[in-house]
Structure 1
Amino acid sequence: MNHLKLSKFPTFYAIGLSYKKADAAMRGKFSLDEKAKTKLLEQAKSEGLDSLFVVSTCNRTEIYGFAEHPFQLIKLLCDNSQGTVEDFQKIAYIYKNQEAITFLFRVGTGLDSQILGDFEVISQIRNSFVESKKANLANAFLERLVNAVIQASKRVKNETELCSGATSVAFAAVNYIFNTVNDLENKNILLFGTGKIGRNTCENLVKHTKHENITLINRTKTKAEKIAGKFNLIVKDYINLPEEIHRADILVVATGAQNPTIDKNLLNLKKPLLILDLSIPKNVDENVKQIEGVSLVHMDFLSQITDETLEKRKEQVPFAEAIIEEIKEEFNSWMRARKFAPTIHALKEKLNAIKEGELDFQRKKIANFDQEQAELISNRIIQKITTHFANHLKDDNTMVDESIEWIEKIFQIETNTVK
């Protein structure tokens, strides 16, 4: 793979960090909002990188792309986030070539998710790739790879039970509320922010509680109204946040802000308040715990809540892995063929040049030379010879780089394959 002519840089990397080694605070440092992602892509172009995309969710921030050295990608991430190279070295990972390809398949199919089988990330991968394509930072390799991962995700979803059962951060949040709060039917619930996890939590709450005690507030009121309309909920203006918190028994925070939006100064409480912070970076300042009666629960804690569903999902992992292997092999076959295609093309041109020289010689030498018949026979011979070489290069046991070099030497041809 090192010599694949799909980028001016020969090595494909996946660099980043996730919930596995980075806590919520550290993930918050490296998280990228839409503006930061756009700036990162612009910087990548200005620094000469030609193909990459970036994924940033509450559980992970990663860059997938071609580079001469992984530090080029690490620098992009650190330059456009609050994270430092020193932080990165402590908690991050770097994969290259086949390892990076396998890693992206595992991420996209929910095998590397904080809650096994959570497929939320595949839409992020798709959307991030689209943004890179718009910015002319997506080559044929990346497009084919992302499409293969999307295909694997669909098949895992449809052909296994990896994502069956209600196991997600949103479900865990609702479960926690049900198990912790007494007399829930008569409690006031305030949802601040309309992030995806917040919306899913809201949907789960609506299914199991009275609608009239759930209020939505978002900085952009129209977004809240859109969701509220779907569930027939109350929407209040952002300016009413302090008084709505004062009324609430449960506050669910799911904003996409880069800094805390809730702190102790906003809380003027006369009764206990349970706060669930479902945001990365954290959107609720730890200082709220200084106020008597406040309980603060972060999504990292909720993600640890497992149930029978999770155990059942684990049984589905081998089936998911088999699907990944099948689609990954199709991708690798395409990649191998694309790698040696320039050599086969150059070989065919060389043989055609030899043919033309020989036919020209025989035409002058032989009376009544049958040009058409000679063309037909020699073209068939050239086709058979190049097919033999192509089959050799396609074989899994072939040392492709050495074979390409050997073909080029013997036939004295040059191709664009990077060495």
Structure 2
Amino acid sequence: MSFFALGVNHQTASVELREHVAFNPERLKDLLAQQSNQQNLNDMVVVSTCNRTEVYAMAENADMVLHWLAETNGIDVKQLSNHVYRYENTDAISHLMRVASGLDSLMLGEPQILGQVKTALALAKDADIVSQNLSQIFEYAFYAAKRVRSETAVGSHAVSMGYAVAQLALQVFSKPSQLTVMVVAAGEMNSLVAKHLAEMGVAKILICNRSVERAEHLAQEIAHRVEVEIIPFAELAENLYRADVISSCTGSLHQVIAYQDVKAALKKRRYQQMLMVDLAVPRDIDPKVESLDGVYLYGVDDLQSVIDENLAHRRQAAVEAEVMVNQLVTQLITHQRIHQAGSTIQQFREHGEIQSQHELADALERIQAGEDAQHVLEDFSHRLTQKLLHPTSIILRQAAQEDDPSHFEWLKEKIQDIFEQERKPKNLK
């Protein structure tokens, strides 16, 4: 039984194929429940996101996993086989750790994947199809991801527009808890800006959007973290003065924030500084605003250069993270081997105990029958020694017959070391 990782991601498959093999939580829950009754493949975890679908399983071979993934999605096995990647044992463990750490993500170092992998494990556990061995591998991968996050900078630099705006606000203003933020338009980009700033702990967020319904939807998503107020789009200019940070991304063909309006807002604010971010193309904010004292204006190109620089930092940190993952994989494999050796040693000891009890019973029976006790005990000692050393002797002979003598030399060296330790006089107390 081996540990396999098999799947498709943004590097190996088109969006169409990834959509075809993706699982929603409800369907996956039903499929995993059905697997609990199967003989061949009933120890598995399925990770399914917009950029990847992967199956991690204890199985006899990778083809079992491939056929399950193909059949459950109605795809020809040969077609799917051209796009899947397969990893086994050590390589599979390394891949899982890299995925959980964000090292294999489309956006290097993104943190959401760890939560998604944890959810996948929980779903499989609910279906009762996760062995202790498989669970331990995942828990160690979570430990690895935590180490990568806390001990490297792979996730510490902003590589999305929304996060970059939040980090920019931290650079311009020292106390985020006193900031009022205005997002002009409540689309996807500004929604991310609002969420990041809400998590950062700003005092208030003003949402100015043409559609009240869209504004209310965003307000509901962040209201548990920050005070929110919805402003009619027609009242944008007269409310500019209230905002320390303004992020605009309307998609309008014309500028929506004029130079004169910002100048008037500054005067009303008694020239307290403002951070204005224009995420729109064409631009929402009159470029002349940049000439006003107290206004910091950033556009898409400005932020993109910051993101590119930060992505370079992440890539540099990823080298360190990869080394760490390799070390942790080695630690886990070593731990597993020690555990397996412990089981083998226990079996060997039990075998020795059985032999000992058998020879002892035979010796006692001979003594009770009247044979000389000293002769019987000498025979007992000789026979037991032969039986206990028989497995070791076979292993040594087989190792000596191998073409590569290194294994035999290693065994001989270790046995001689044990003999040397036994010959040393014990410390007198």
**TM-score class normalised by the smaller sequence:** 0.5 to 0.7
The residue that corresponds to 1:307 in the other structure is: 308
- How many residue pairs get aligned? The number is 312
Larger radius of gyration: 2
Deviations 1:285-304, CA, capped at 9 Å, x for gaps: xxxxxxxx9xxxxxxxx999
Deviations 1:11-36, CA, capped at 9 Å, x for gaps: 32211111223344443333222112
Alignment of 1:4-403 (within 5 A): 10-48=1-39, 49-81=41-73, 85=77, 88-168=80-160, 170-171=162-163, 188-191=184-187, 200-204=192-196, 211-213=205-207, 225=220, 227-233=222-228, 250=249, 306-364=307-365
> 3-state SS of the aligned residue for 2:106?
coil
> 3-state SS of the aligned residue for 1:20?
coil
- How many percent identity over aligned positions? 23
TM-score by length of 2: 0.57
Deviations 1:359-416, CA, capped at 9 Å, x for gaps: 334445569989xxx9xx99xx99x989x99xx9xxxx879xxxxxxxxxxxxxxxxx
Question: Residue 206 of structure 2 contacts residue 230 of structure 2 at CA under 8 Å; is this kept in 1?
Answer: no
* Letter of the 2:33 counterpart: E
Distance 1:305 1:140, change over 3 A: farther
* Letter of the 1:133 counterpart: K
Distance 1:100 1:169, change over 3 A: farther
- The 10-residue stretch of structure 1 (37-46 or 70-79) with the greater mean CA deviation from structure 2: 70-79
- The 10-residue stretch of structure 1 (33-42 or 207-216) with the greater mean CA deviation from structure 2: 207-216
Question: Residue 182 of structure 2 contacts residue 208 of structure 2 at CA under 8 Å; is this kept in 1?
Answer: no
Alpha-carbon distance between aligned partners in 2 of 1:136 and 1:23, rounded to the nearest angstrom: 32
- Quote the offset at 1:209 in angstroms: 12
Deviations 1:332-364, CA, capped at 9 Å, x for gaps: 123223444444333222211221123334445
- Quote the offset at 1:226 in angstroms: 5.4
Deviations 1:137-171, CA, capped at 9 Å, x for gaps: 11122111111111111111122222112224753
Distance 1:227 1:95, change over 3 A: same
Question: Residue 115 of structure 1 contacts residue 169 of structure 1 at CA under 8 Å; is this kept in 2?
Answer: no
5+ long unaligned stretches in structure 2: 168-180, 232-247, 256-281, 283-302, 397-405, 409-429
TM-score by length of 1: 0.59
Question: Residue 44 of structure 2 contacts residue 124 of structure 2 at CA under 8 Å; is this kept in 1?
Answer: yes
- Quote the offset at 1:55 in angstroms: 0.8
5+ long unaligned stretches in structure 1: 1-9, 176-184, 237-248, 252-268, 274-292, 294-301, 400-419
Alpha-carbon distance between aligned partners in 1 of 2:48 and 2:304, rounded to the nearest angstrom: 18
Give the root-mean-square deviation of aligned CA atoms: 4.9
> 3-state SS of the aligned residue for 2:157?
coil
